[in-house]
Structure 1
């Protein structure tokens, strides 16, 4: 836990220097994911609002909403991420988001065939 706090302190120093850097915000959210998921969600929301093209956010935010039992919200997040990753031509992100969305909706490929 102490190492997370140290990393967070360093990340917040970077954040104070440039509060618009999407990678720093994403890193803060990821660190909070380990120790305070609700706080992580706050930072993922900042990314979704201020940096909607930061496609990595959508998978983790959707998964977090699933953990909180908010399936409808998770589905919306995955769908928006699918659209953005498709617009960017990011096949890897699209594939991960599609798989997460399919699992959420009970459409696992292996189970359907």
Structure 2
């Protein structure tokens, strides 16, 4: 059986996290060029890293859900989660944490459609 030391495990986790962050940056650049063009690669990577941390604070762990949270940060503002209405959803204990970004996504789209 393969055994990893705590240090080896931490390095492995950091490598995986780095690969995920890079993938998210690539997708954001491709799908949301108008929102990312003003950021350098390092700034975008930092933005994604902060987004992952902010999502985790709300118990959001699934990569797809974390990605949606980061997209919401990109579109609605990097501190969108500080809005009381948004916090209400992000802290709603009746919702699975990984479902919360999807609920917010739909609420954001519906609000945008009504304001057009």
TM-score (norm 1): 0.29
TM-score (norm 2): 0.29
Q: Which of the pair has the greater relative contact order for Cα pairs under 8 Å at 6+ separation?
A: 2
Q: Of Structure 1 and Structure 2, which has the larger fraction of its residues in helix?
A: 1
Point out the structure with max Rg over C-alpha.
Answer: 2
